């Protein structure tokens, strides 16, 4: 069975005047149909930016997906 959503090696960085902020660095997970995934962690660990990256809603500039792949129903997003 192919995963409904597959995230492999996701990297999202923000390029600021003070330097590069590596907000999401090498995130991997897969979700099959009917499964539920909870993403938990302390404030500032990249939960929201991971979700925004998957949805294609990272503000550019300064943010950019610099690595990895996101597949939905086997198709690259």
| Alpha-carbon torsion (77, 54, 65, 10), positive or negative | negative
Instruction: Please tell me the distance from the alpha carbon of residue 56 to that of residue 65, in angstroms, as a whole number.
Output: 9
pLDDT of residue 6: 97
pTM above the 0.85 mark? yes
Tell me: the pLDDT tens digits for 7-54?
999 999 999 999 999 999 999 999 999 999 999 999 999 999 999 999
Q: Who's near 30: CB < 8 A, 6+ residues apart?
A: 3, 5, 6, 7
**Average pLDDT of the chain to the nearest whole number:** 95
Q: Who's near 75: CB < 8 A, 6+ residues apart?
A: none
pLDDT of residue 1: 76
Instruction: Please tell me the distance from the alpha carbon of residue 1 to that of residue 32, in angstroms, as a whole number.
Output: 8
pLDDT of residue 2: 87
């Amino acid at each position: 069975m192919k995963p409904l959503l597959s995230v492999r090696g996701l990297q999202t960085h923000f390029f600021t005047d003070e330097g590069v902020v590596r907000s999401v660095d090498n995130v991997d997970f897969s979700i099959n149909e009917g499964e539920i995934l909870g993403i938990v962690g302390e404030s500032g660990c990249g939960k929201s930016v991971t979700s925004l990256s998957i949805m294609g809603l990272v503000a550019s500039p300064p943010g950019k997906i610099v690595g990895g792949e996101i597949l939905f129903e086997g198709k690259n997003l």
